Structure 1
Amino acid sequence: MTFRFTLPTLIAAVFLLSAPAIAQDSTDSASLDSALSALHSGANQKALDELRVLLSETPHDPALLTNAGIAAARLEQWGLAAGLLRDAVEVAPTENAPRQALDFVLAKLPVKEISHSAEFWETYRENVLSGVSLYWLALIGAPLVLLVGLLVLRFIADRRRALVDEEPMPRVGPAHVAAILLLVLHLGLLMTKVMDRGQPRGTIIETKIAAHSAPDSQSPSLFELFAGLEVLILRENEAWAQVRYPGGPTGWIPKSALHFALAPAGG
């Protein structure tokens, strides 16, 4: 089932996602029921507050993240909504509801981008990496390595047998080439996904924030960032974070202006 996301119909995703939230994690059922009831009744701030409490216990639950993002969107907190929904998409990249909700929120942003240069990595990330799960890449990798290993061992055994029997050497067949190429592609995808997850990111939650040349509000302002824009977090200094807009400039902003993206589960 697909949804056309508008503010009156955003709640549709909540009905679909409330059950997975209970099934996936050992969330307090009463608290979850209270949060979803508040969201259904239009008490969006109450729902958002309660969902964020639940997220502090189970931060990688895509249903909770999506519901919280929807609550923030209904409050027109577009920056926070974008950050929460980006987390949901990262955790569950194959789910349609979080991605559709994120697309809806991004379309509502007053400023959708600032001046920047196109970067291959960001294009690759958006078009390829954002659609795959690190968990599934790792899970698929084990049998793939086993398959290629068995093919290689069998090929070596056939060569030894041919040497002993003085027969023609076996040739590398299409199956060997295909398996090795598949393994190389998979490992490349896995490595770049790990690299991407290792780069801290965040979403601007303030309507507008000035980026400074140093971690000090008295330092010169270099440029402005707007709600919903995603930035790379380069380093932190007490209450400040040095960020870079992808393909664009670098500056310091208060941490309070950021929704920090989720770290990988278990990390």
Structure 2
Amino acid sequence: MDYPQILSPIISFLHCPTPQAWIDEARKPENLPLLLTDHMVCELKAAQNAMLLVRRYVADKADADELLACLKPYEDFTYRRGPEPDFVALHKRINKSAMPQTDDPWGRQLLDSMILLIKEELHHFWQVREMMLARDIPYVKITASNYARGLRREVRSHEPVMLIDKLICGAYIEARSCERFAALAPWLDDDLQKVLPVAAALRGASLSGLSGSGAEDCRRRYQRAGAPARRGGSGADPPSRGRVPLSQRCAGSGVTHDIRAL
């Protein structure tokens, strides 16, 4: 697979690559359990964030409660040491018919996009869990990193620009994941290469629109609604409030513990 060509728009969107020190640490065989565990948890977090957008901007309270129930078995297993459920059966429950309905065109666009994202992330969650089981890697709860927290600090607190900033932060997290797994590809075994880098590359290819026409379309929609444009124009970085550009500050965030310190 031609990773440089596929990743070109992703690198442009990120502005800077992951530090080599992170790659050197993450590629060590002894860090594979940590890498897979963190990746699995991050897949769930991505699904939770997408579900939160649906609940906040589309669903009413009754629908929101049903959506929470869809993710509860995943959350119980991951965060509360609950039993391991049938993830395949759970995944089939996430579909358009189970989601809130809306006649609002923009709400429908957001809903359709988030449903696809939720299903994709939960499918990846199960894929990573299968890899761990095949390698006899037990699931051990790990602490959260500061990566997403650092991004969320840049999100403005008023609508409608808060949603735009959240979507941009989500795009940054997805793009960085794509770039990092592609960088780790040469040190992954054949089975891992069949799933992780390929999935990341495909995700990155679809993600590239977020830094171009997709983000621009979102910005235009909000401006027509009377919302101010994002500070800094149409660039990819969320507002930095006078600090070091976000893309540079967050490029060094790692997986966990020693890796996360880089």
TM-score (ref. length: structure 1) = 0.32
More strand by share: 1
Which of the pair has the greater relative contact order for Cα pairs under 8 Å at 6+ separation?
2
Larger radius of gyration: 1
